[in-house]
Amino acid sequence: MKTFIFIPRCLNCIFWCYVLVLTPILCFLFGWVDFRASPEEIVGVGLARRSHDFQNGNSASEFSHTPPQPLAPVSECLEKVSLPGIPQNIPVVHQLFLQHKHCRTFPRLLTPRVCDHDLYLLLAVKSTAAQIDRRAALRNTWGQVETIRGKKVRLVFLLGRSQDNVKGYPLQRLLEYESRRFGDILQWDFADSFFNLTLKEVHFLSWFSQDCREAQFVLKGDDDVFIHTGNLLEFLQDRSPSDHLFAGDIISKAVPIRNRKLKYFIPVVMFPANRYPPYAGGGGYLMSRQTVIGLDRAAQDTDLFPIDDVFVGMCLQKMNVTLVFHDGFRTFGLRQKITPFDPCIYRELMLVHKLNSIELWTMWSMVNDPNLICRKSIKL
């Protein structure tokens, strides 16, 4: 009777011994195979679970060897429920914004490859986890260029956190893969919502000041813009990164929208004046290093405002920087009806907003077609 029980118990124990010994070996082997896939996939890319890991200067490749962590909930910051002055008669999103306005620092989740010391132009593009096709299109069109006339250009995507899934896969996992594969993802742990775009702005500014201030110029744009990088460089040719520069589709004396039904509605309590300071249409604008670093400082003592472009305008006003209007930035797209998709028009511009991935690809191929023949000048 005794032995009868003893044998199965022992088998059981041998089985568990195998499991205990084999699992770590298999994990190690698979991990090893996965991360050796391609050397450029390892360099400077990784998933960090705490932002202070980065601040301590740990090399990113260390994180590549950490097994995937379960998805942590999005960082929350305690709301100021009893904060006086949050009126109840404004929309709930605006109330939420005001309750969370004091939460300004969130940990970094994904960090891109380090910036080269001789980087000339940084292309910083706001994106969200779900816009995989837009990022793919940008990497294969204007974002793909690494040098223009000997000057280094570099693409980085700016993202918050998404809890969504695609076909059962968490978007966060897909993004971690993109980060390993391309090393161009800069992500922080706040919800990627419309009203959190200003958070993205302030986090980008401080990342730039700390980790990428070698870059001489920065183009900040959306992930649905066409950018003529060659024209940008031509425009920057005689400019110094240590002078202030802020150029784009400048909007002056814009009136805050007071109609509750519109996307950009701002109640009087959030902005009592009846004109915004001058700002650039958010599709994209160009800045010098001096201006970006100045903005980082100015942003630190400016209250967050839900419209990120206007927030930047408020900071620029504090800095006394003159905003330069340039006709080549079409942040409202092209307005004329005749042949708006003419590559000869795009060849004259710096930036056009609101193109889908296929249009981006098509336009990029056409603009770069050596056989494209254009009339000498195009009236816009």
Ligand X SMILES: *[C@@H]1O[C@H](CO)[C@@H](O)[C@H](O)[C@H]1NC(C)=O
Binding residues for ligand X (CB under 6 A)? 74-77, 93, 96-97, 100, 190-191, 193, 195-196, 319-320
State the minimum distance, in angstroms, from the CB of residue 41 to ligand X.
Answer: 29
Q: Which of 70, 74, 99 is nearest to 191 (CA)?
A: 74
State the minimum distance, in angstroms, from the CB of residue 73 to ligand X.
Answer: 9
Measured from the CB atom, is 75 or 362 closer to ligand X?
75
Instruction: Using the structure block, give the residue that is written with the tokens 């909930």.
Output: 73
State the minimum distance, in angstroms, from the CB of residue 160 to ligand X.
Answer: 7
Measured from the CB atom, is 192 or 224 closer to ligand X?
192
Q: Which of 288, 285, 303, 269 is nearest to 350 (CA)?
A: 285
State the minimum distance, in angstroms, from the CB of residue 106 to ligand X.
Answer: 7
Residue type, 4: F
Cβ atoms of residues 94 and 306 within 8 Å: yes
| Residue 259 backbone phi and psi in degrees, to 5 | -90, 115
Measured from the CB atom, is 252 or 322 closer to ligand X?
322
State the minimum distance, in angstroms, from the CB of residue 197 to ligand X.
Answer: 10
Q: Which of 71, 63, 64 is nearest to 34 (CA)?
A: 64
Cβ atoms of residues 350 and 235 within 8 Å: yes
State the minimum distance, in angstroms, from the CB of residue 309 to ligand X.
Answer: 17
Query: Mind giving me the DSSP string for 146-209?
Result: -EETTEEEEEEEEEEE---EETTEEHHHHHHHHHHHHS-EEEEEEE--GGGHHHHHHHHHHHHH
Measured from the CB atom, is 76 or 327 closer to ligand X?
76
Q: How far is CA 355 from the centre of its chain?
A: 18
Cβ atoms of residues 204 and 220 within 8 Å: yes
In the chain, what's the furthest Cα-to-Cα distance?
A: 100
Measured from the CB atom, is 162 or 357 closer to ligand X?
162
C-alpha atoms less than 13 angstroms from C-alpha of 148 in its C-beta half-sphere: 19
State the minimum distance, in angstroms, from the CB of residue 307 to ligand X.
Answer: 12
Measured from the CB atom, is 106 or 182 closer to ligand X?
106
Measured from the CB atom, is 183 or 306 closer to ligand X?
306
Cβ atoms of residues 221 and 249 within 8 Å: no
Measured from the CB atom, is 192 or 249 closer to ligand X?
192
3-state class percentages of the chain: helix first, strand second, coil last, to nearest 5: 40, 20, 45
Q: Which of 244, 187, 163 is nearest to 48 (CA)?
A: 187
Cα–Cα distance for residue pair 158/128, rounded to 1 Å: 8
| Residue 122 backbone phi and psi in degrees, to 5 | -100, 125
State the minimum distance, in angstroms, from the CB of residue 194 to ligand X.
Answer: 7
147-148 and 165-166 as β-strands: parallel, antiparallel, unpaired?
unpaired
State the minimum distance, in angstroms, from the CB of residue 266 to ligand X.
Answer: 14
Measured from the CB atom, is 191 or 254 closer to ligand X?
191
Measured from the CB atom, is 39 or 70 closer to ligand X?
70
State the minimum distance, in angstroms, from the CB of residue 290 to ligand X.
Answer: 13
Where residue 40 falls (left for φ over 0; alpha for ψ -120 to 50; beta otherwise) is: alpha
